[in-house]
């Protein structure tokens, strides 16, 4: 069987400056994909594009509707049409539920739900008839984590949004990518160390931390291979992909 590749595919990656989004962009770029890469941190995007010859970068914040529209316009100008839209941007406040403020809720929903919605809307005019729209979610939806209540709630809302997109826009392949913990990650960089210590103790007690963590590169490798195969089979959908470590829980 011929090896599946993303060579020549027209791809937009939103959240391409770090984590799985960055690893996916680099993997696709090395295979010869034609790409538009978007993220807030322009300097980090500049680092990624050195490994993605010919990729076009867009400094954008998904919380700003005009920025989302701009990503779509650049995609149309540079790529013409889009075969794959991968959205890996996300935000998580680490707070106990009773300490979670109205502003925390606004911030997390503006990024993880409304921002994703606006990105998808901006790309509807340029998606090919069987385009794959893959959006990263979290295993914390099915397995709630202490101090991540707002985050997991937003991801649950995101997953319901993807169901609605499927209902109203059949043909496009809206895919929820449920991902377990990865290391290294920027996910915890802004977490309060004291809250993280309490939360981590609870996560360990409840068996929510795996003995071995996946790397963003390994997840991106699997995801890229799966998407590359699916692009060639427009009659096959990828409604829900679960990528988690196969190891058991870490022992305390």
Alpha helices in 133-211 (DSSP H): 149-168, 193-205
**Secondary structure (3-state) at 172:** coil
E strand or H helix at 129: strand 127-138
pLDDT at 51: 81
Confirm whether 151 is a catalytic residue.
yes
pLDDT at 79: 98
pLDDT at 224: 96
The one catalytic residue among 24, 91, 109, 151: 151
Distance CA 31, CA 180 (A): 26
- pLDDT under 70: residue ranges of the chain: 1-3, 252
Of the CA atoms within 13 Å of residue 56, those in its CB half-sphere come to 17
For the chain, which residues make up each domain, given as ranges? 10-243
How many other β-carbons are positioned within 10 Å of the β-carbon of residue 43? 8
CATH superfamily ID and name for 10-243: NAD(P)-binding Rossmann-like Domain (3.40.50.720)
Residues near 1 by beta carbon (within 8 Å), at least 6 away in sequence: none
pLDDT at 1: 42
């Amino acid at each position: 069987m011929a090896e599946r590749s993303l060579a020549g595919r027209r791809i937009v990656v939103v959240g391409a400056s770090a984590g799985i989004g960055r690893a996916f962009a680099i993997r696709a770029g090395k295979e010869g994909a034609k790409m538009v890469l978007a993220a807030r941190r322009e300097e980090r995007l500049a680092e990624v594009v050195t490994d993605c010859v010919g990729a076009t970068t867009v400094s954008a914040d998904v919380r700003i509707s005009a920025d989302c529209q701009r990503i779509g316009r650049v995609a149309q100008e540079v790529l013409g049409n889009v075969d794959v839209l991968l959205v890996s941007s996300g935000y998580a406040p680490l707070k106990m539920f009773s300490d979670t403020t109205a502003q925390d809720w606004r911030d997390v929903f503006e990024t993880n739900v409304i921002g994703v919605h606006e990105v998808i809307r901006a790309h509807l005019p340029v998606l090919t008839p069987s385009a794959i729209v893959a959006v990263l979610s979290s295993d914390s939806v099915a397995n709630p984590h202490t101090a991540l209540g707002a985050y997991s709630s937003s991801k649950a809302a995101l997953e319901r949004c993807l169901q609605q997109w499927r209902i109203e826009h059949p043909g496009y392949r809206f895919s929820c990518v449920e991902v377990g913990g990865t290391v290294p990650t920027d996910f915890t960089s802004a977490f309060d160390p004291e809250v993280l210590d309490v939360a981590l103790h609870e996560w360990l007690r409840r068996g929510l931390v795996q003995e071995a963590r996946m790397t963003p590169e390994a997840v991106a490798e699997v995801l890229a291979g799966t998407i590359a195969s699916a692009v060639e089979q427009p009659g096959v959908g990828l409604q829900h992909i679960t990528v988690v470590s196969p190891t058991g829980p870490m022992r305390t």
